[in-house]
Structure 1
Amino acid sequence: MRPSVLRRAGTAALALAAALAPTVAAAHPGGAHPGSSHGVDAQRVGAQRALHARLLGEKTVPHKLDFQDTTVGGLSGIDRNPCTGSYALISDDRSFLQPVRFYTARIDVDADGVHSVDFTSTHPLLRPDGSVYPSPITDPAHAADPEEMRVDPRGGCHRLWWAQEGDRPTKEGDPVVQPALQRADLTGAYRGTFRLPPDYAITPGGGPRRNESLEAFTFGSRGHTLTSAIEGPLVQDGPEPTLAHGALVRVTRQNRGGRVLGQFAYPLEKIFTASDPSSPWPPSTGVPSILAFPGDPDRYLVLERTWVAGAGYKIRLYDATTRGATDVRAMDSLAGEHVVPMRKKLVADFDTLGLSRIENTEGMTWGPALPSGERTVVLVSDDNFSADESTQVVALAVR
């Protein structure tokens, strides 16, 4: 959820109680100079061929669609169930409207576009005691901020994993809610918690910034590994991106038991344009979703989403690799350190795809294969339950 809509969300709460462009920008956090090899490495993605993307189509879900006594919206994560072909979508409603929940849907995507989006069920995500998550208004210490969901590809696809980014308080005395990654069954019942890396914890002097925590994770190696990304730079890793420089965000690969196999620095782009000076809201940018390539444990699609007051959203999709990148798991801070970041190449800038409008795209998943040999990528936007935004399902074909 972007700062521009936190104001609207707060008001509502109180009221309730791809074209290809082979360019890359290297991130220089905190004024640190990454060295001459950094620019060279950041401009190519190993020996693999460049990925091409084209728009297949889009479909807009009716605003505040009423489905099984819930309000459809805030869709921040999407994943295709490889066993059934259906999709799981998580809402980032923090129990303001209805309890924290997810949906299942049939999305008809083929070479001719996106033909329909039909919701088939919804379930609340439950706490270990079987209760629903409370609203942050009534019980902020036990509230959840859901942002991403994946279907576990192992064991017959009978488990869902979901991430919530927690909450760093803005004033003394307010509770800290730590980021978490949990397992649930297909009805939303709690089935366990995954151990996150220690540097993902919110502490007084470090860890994720507020609203820039755990939003992205993906299964790799046929479900044997899990890779997650922090949305923005950790407090100790240097400042957020500006018009002049980008930043480094941490990407961590773990086994299913939680053991860290490697941690890498992903170079986040600088802010693309100046903000409207009359706006009280600063620009915001980060990584809301990451998607592992089947068969390549080092390669990922990375979604970057930026919001700037007066300019709106910029959405870009990158092909990135950890191959050759510095393992930074032992580094307490990246500020001032020489690291070789993940290499990346632009796959699609949504401004050039021909979409009807650019929305707050936060979730993505691999879709069905096409007869052409291309693979589809299905993406969804978070409308923030605002009439000014929409829930947009976009399908790309990539080769």
Structure 2
Amino acid sequence: MKASLIRRACAAALVLATTMAPAVAAQSGNTGDTAARFDIGAHARLLGEKIVPHKLPFRNTTVGGLSGIDRDPCTGEYVMVSDDRSVLQPARFYTARINVDGAGVHSVDFTSTHPFLQPDGSVYPSASAGDGKVVDPEELRVDPLGCRYWWAQEGDRPKSSSDPLIQPTIQFAGRTGQYRGQLPLPRNYESTRGDWGLRRNKAVEAITFGDGSRTLTSAVEGPLFQDGPEPDLEHGALVRVTRQNREGGVLGQFAYPLEKIFTESDPTSPWGPDTGVPAILSFPGDPSRYLVLERTWVAGAGFKIRIYDATTRGATEVQNMDSLAGQKVVPMRKKLVVDFHDLGLSTVDNTEGMTWGPALPNGERTLLLVSDDNFAADEVTQIVALGIR
């Protein structure tokens, strides 16, 4: 998500720092009006965090805008996508060694960067080019079968009729950015010029491999126009989650219940609240179970970051429903794993990416998350590590 207009005072110094905090258990019981009790529920504790220096220069690029992260099983390194729309440098991704264990995040060392390439081998032009070829990279996953990259970009639903309409895509790339094709998306993942389909900056921002790498699940960041309004102080919203095979065939589509806005906005701010699902992560061994990241920003209150344990078991199949508004839909059930405000972090920022890390000797699995600083001085690039049980 582009959040360059989001500004707030930042409590963290923009230097490398590591923070430790005591364990935080998952909350029990229901979350919201739509989440029923069920027999799964992960627990989380903070292992540590690291703040990357603001606008860190690396190999003639500016590190920032990191909106997705995944662990590369072929190297043990991490791959992070920047959502720079070729404004500072061509749309690109980074690799890094992240030293993390049960005692915290010890170091983050960037090792390479490559631009995403178009089918003709050229880099993507800046958004200012106006030629309809711009991309908005938001998520990247390493294909466990061969370790090439699958990456999602939101496209653009223009504000003006004179601007090009750019559809979202999930593309395949070689390990140095070469174009290798793309995954067909479901028909309701299209942007339109009318009040139908994807909202602007609320498109395909979350993808994850699952079921032994046989499937790819994607989540739309916000509700489709026809599925109802965006969340407010009184009501949440339903966003679509789609499971596909590796050829693009839809295996199932479900409605995920996005939380309502957590507090009122500063009435003097010109910006309304912003909320959505920027990342989803499959549980190993259970193709119906996911960690879902919800990120919300409210003027005057800042960010709220929450992770939920969710399942498609028992949820209504919605791929053939043109609209969810007014329909009897059983959404995915979910349970809160952790609210970042309960972790004792140096700051809670614009967290948008998450991935599984290495297993720990005590049986926990590490979960790494990264925040998108929007290249803004009052936001941070923050790596957070949790222990998940």
Q: What's the TM-score bracket when you normalise by the shorter of the two chains? A: over 0.9
Measured after TM superposition, the shift of residue 182 of structure 1 is 0.2
**Quick check: 2:3–2:374 contact (8 Å CA) kept in 1?**
no
Equivalent in the alignment of 2:69: 78
Specify which of 100, 123, 130 is matched with residue 114 of structure 2: 123
Relative to structure 1, the CA distance from residue 310 to residue 152 in structure 2 (aligned partners, 3 Å threshold; closer, same or farther) is same
Q: 1:196 and 2:185 equivalent? A: yes
Distance 1:61 1:393 in 2: 8
**Quick check: 2:218–2:243 contact (8 Å CA) kept in 1?**
yes
Distance 1:108 1:340 in 2: 41
Q: 1:22 and 2:22 equivalent? A: no
**Quick check: 1:229–1:287 contact (8 Å CA) kept in 2?**
yes
Matches within 5 A, 1:203-218: 203=192, 204-218=194-208
Distance 1:343 1:231 in 2: 18
User: For the aligned residues, what is the CA RMSD?
Assistant: 1.4
| TM-score computed with the length of structure 1 as normaliser | 0.91
Measured after TM superposition, the shift of residue 26 of structure 1 is 4.1
Matches within 5 A, 1:118-157: 118-155=109-146, 157=147
Distance 1:2 1:243 in 2: 22
Matches within 5 A, 1:24-103: 24-26=30-32, 39=34, 42-45=35-38, 47-48=39-40, 50-103=41-94
Distance 1:385 1:221 in 2: 36
Q: 1:230 and 2:236 equivalent? A: no
3-state SS in 2 of match to 1:119 = strand
Equivalent in the alignment of 1:34: none
**Quick check: 1:4–1:309 contact (8 Å CA) kept in 2?**
no
Specify which of 182, 189, 208 is matched with residue 171 of structure 2: 182
Structure 2 residue identity aligned to 1:381: S
Cα deviations across residues 218-237 of structure 1 (Å, max 9, x unaligned)? 00012100000000000110
**Quick check: 2:4–2:374 contact (8 Å CA) kept in 1?**
no
Matches within 5 A, 1:268-279: 268-279=258-269
Cα deviations across residues 166-202 of structure 1 (Å, max 9, x unaligned)? 1111122211110000000100000001101100001
Equivalent in the alignment of 1:377: 367
Structure 1 residue identity aligned to 2:300: G
Equivalent in the alignment of 2:295: 305
| TM-score computed with the length of structure 2 as normaliser | 0.94
Normalized per residue, which structure has more helix? 1
Distance 2:25 2:32 in 1: 21
3-state SS in 1 of match to 2:132 = helix
3-state SS in 1 of match to 2:127 = coil
**Quick check: 2:31–2:335 contact (8 Å CA) kept in 1?**
no
3-state SS in 1 of match to 2:362 = coil
Measured after TM superposition, the shift of residue 99 of structure 1 is 0.2
Q: Structure 1: any 5+ residue segments left out of the alignment? A: 9-17, 28-38
**Quick check: 1:3–1:282 contact (8 Å CA) kept in 2?**
no
**Quick check: 2:313–2:332 contact (8 Å CA) kept in 1?**
yes
Cα deviations across residues 13-59 of structure 1 (Å, max 9, x unaligned)? xxxxx5422254446xxxxxxxxxxx4xx2223x33x2110000000
3-state SS in 2 of match to 1:5 = coil
Distance 1:175 1:22 in 2: 47
Q: Structure 2: any 5+ residue segments left out of the alignment? A: 9-23
Measured after TM superposition, the shift of residue 138 of structure 1 is 1.4
Task: Figure out how many residues of one structure are paired with residues of the other and give that number.
Answer: 373
Equivalent in the alignment of 2:5: 5
Kindly, what percent of the aligned residue pairs are identical?
A: 70
Equivalent in the alignment of 2:105: 114
Equivalent in the alignment of 1:284: 274
Measured after TM superposition, the shift of residue 2 of structure 1 is 4.9
3-state SS in 1 of match to 2:128 = coil
Distance 1:345 1:371 in 2: 26
Distance 1:106 1:99 in 2: 23
3-state SS in 1 of match to 2:129 = coil
Measured after TM superposition, the shift of residue 4 of structure 1 is 5.7
3-state SS in 2 of match to 1:137 = helix
